[in-house]
Amino acid sequence: MPLVHFDRQAVLDFFNIPIEEAEQALKHIGYKDPIDVHDEFSGDDIKAIAMAYAHKVYPSAGDRDKVSFGSQVSYLVCGMYTGVAHYKKEQQAERYFEEFKKAYGVDPGDEGPEIKGNISGPDFTRASILLLQSLILPPDAEANTKASVKLIDQHASLFDSKNLESIKNTINSLKDVKLL
């Protein structure tokens, strides 16, 4: 059973990048494994779109960061991880995401997230994408939860106004994660 945490349509709407554009962007990202941008089952389509977004928004980010971001988003949409070997930045982003989802009582489902807390699937998805973005794509010294809150403020119109303050407060309350 796949472990789907993200609302697939919310991901596609958030990135708003046609698959053809993603396919072209991949040529500029140092990712050696084959990727089928038309494969929805494995999440390669989402991975390509997320990597293209990363390349567009953070052109100076390292390829490892762009691939990591794409892999994380793809995994959370389809439940299959096909990314780079873990490194510290990615591990920290995963830990923060785990704490964020616990705060809202989010469990993976077959078709999307199962949420016990007071947040919609699309709002949880968008907030989580911005959290991962702020922790993986900026330079190491700028990758933190404060950057997440700034990104959420910049994208405030995407969120239900009832959830916006709760999301920002939840992210602000996340404790510094310690890696084992």
Counting every residue written for the chain, the total comes to 180
What tokens appear for 5 in the block? Answer: 């945490």
pTM over 0.85: yes
Q: What radius of gyration, in Å, describes the C-alpha atoms of the chain?
A: 15
Residue 72 near residue 100 (C-beta atoms within 8 A): no
Q: Evaluate whether residue 102 is within a structural domain.
A: yes
Q: What is the pLDDT of residue 2?
A: 47
> CA quadruple 56, 60, 64, 65: dihedral positive or negative?
negative
Q: Evaluate whether residue 121 is within a structural domain.
A: yes
Q: Evaluate whether residue 63 is within a structural domain.
A: yes
Q: What are phi and psi of 110, to 5 degrees?
A: -75, -40
Residue 118 near residue 172 (C-beta atoms within 8 A): no
Domain ranges, residue 41 = 8-173
- How far apart CA 133 and CA 144 sit, in angstroms, is 10
Domain count of the fold of the chain: 1
What is the SS3 string spanning 151-177?
HHHHCHHHCCHHHHHHHHHHHHHCCCC
Single-letter residue type at 148:
S
Q: Evaluate whether residue 78 is within a structural domain.
A: yes
Q: Evaluate whether residue 3 is within a structural domain.
A: no
In the beta sheet, which residues pair with residue 171? none
Q: Evaluate whether residue 75 is within a structural domain.
A: yes
Query: Each residue's pLDDT tens digit in the chain (180 positions)?
Result: 346 689 999 999 999 999 999 999 999 998 878 788 877 777 889 999 999 999 999 999 999 999 999 999 998 998 776 555 567 888 889 889 999 999 999 988 777 788 999 999 999 999 999 999 999 999 989 999 999 999 999 999 999 999 999 999 999 999 776 554
